[in-house]
Amino acid sequence: MKKVGIIGYGTIGEDVAQAVHQGRAGLVQLEAILVRDKSKYEDSNSTEYLITEDEDEFFNQNLDIVIECAGHGAVRKYGERALHHGADLILVSIGAFADESLQKLLRDKAEQSGRKIIVPSAAIGGLDRIAAGSVGPMEEVTLVTRKPPKAWYGTLIEEQVNLAELSEPYCAFEGVARDSARLFPESVNVSAALSLAGIGFDKTKVKVYVDPHISHNIHEIEARGKFGQIKLQIQNTPSARNPKTGYIVAMSVIKTLRDMSSSFVIGI
């Protein structure tokens, strides 16, 4: 059984932890969860797995897989250490890789330590096809992300527009993924995943909308190249705990864990 450690015990982290603990994520066992405030959690004194605020204690558990579910800051703070301790690293806050120096640091570290950095599809899909198509040549990749107003509280859009009174869709960003990933660290990680699978952060075109007429988080992907074309629309049900994040994100991490211990892998 591979030992799993999770950084961040919020919306994604909790769903993933439960699945691992209940044996729904393949041949892996929940060893430790790194949190910022242990007193918030009912299971903080669990005897079956460790919940700790102490990063040394967390990384001393001989983890085989570390899953980051905590945000860009946690990728910066703990990514290198996870790989240094000999774990494979699953990243959901992949927008942190818009910072080329951080991306290079972690990719070099993974190579030196013979470990893998694994990026689940998370909130989007089609990465298998985009990554294969980018063997190339690939001409164009675009993403349009739309979420309801409630998903944008706590982001910079809250300063641009009155979210409570919006009656028409509002285009909050138009540009390239390098900027969308940086400007919306909790909300448009999908643009980073798409860039890494396809033609990079500076060529992937992105539009971001607040849309009062929708109830799902919608991502529309279009790509063209020698392979042909792809047009894909994804509608994620927002999780009850965090409207920025779809339930599918934790499901995708759980599927990744299953793949890591299975002799049959489909859909990568």
Ligand X SMILES: NC(=O)C1=CN([C@@H]2O[C@H](COP(=O)(O)OP(=O)(O)OC[C@H]3O[C@@H](n4cnc5c(N)ncnc54)[C@H](O)[C@@H]3O)[C@@H](O)[C@H]2O)C=CC1
Burial of 266 (0-12, 13-18, 19+ CB in 10 A): exposed
In the stretch 205-244, what mask flags binding to ligand OAA with x, by CB under 6 A? ------------x------------------x-------x
Does the annotation list 60 as a binding residue?
A: no
188 counts as binding ligand OAA under rule CB under 6 A:
yes
Q: Does the footprint of ligand OAA cover residue 63 (CB under 6 A)?
A: no
Asked if residue 69 binds ligand X (CB under 6 A), the reply is yes
21 contacts which partner out of ligand X, ligand OAA, none, CB within 5 to 8 A by kind? none
Say how many residues make up the chain.
268
**CB-CB contact of 95 with 72 (8 Å):** yes
Is 249 among the residues that bind ligand OAA (CB under 6 A)? yes
Of 246, 250, 254, 255, the one binding ligand OAA (CB under 6 A) is 246
Q: Residues with catalytic annotation?
A: 219
Neighbours of 64 (CB within 10 A): 19
Nearest alpha carbon to residue 223 among 123, 130, 128, 131: 130
User: Do the beta carbons of residue 90 and residue 118 sit within 8 Å?
Assistant: yes
- Say whether residue 138 binds ligand X (CB under 6 A): no
The answer to whether 16 contacts ligand X (rule: CB under 6 A) is no
C-alpha 195: how far from chain center:
13
192 marked among binding-site residues: no
123 belongs to the binding site for ligand OAA (CB under 6 A): yes
Phi, psi values for residue 136, rounded to 5°: 100, 180
**Residue 34 site contact among ligand OAA, ligand X, none (CB < 5 to 8 Å, cut-off depends on kind):** ligand X
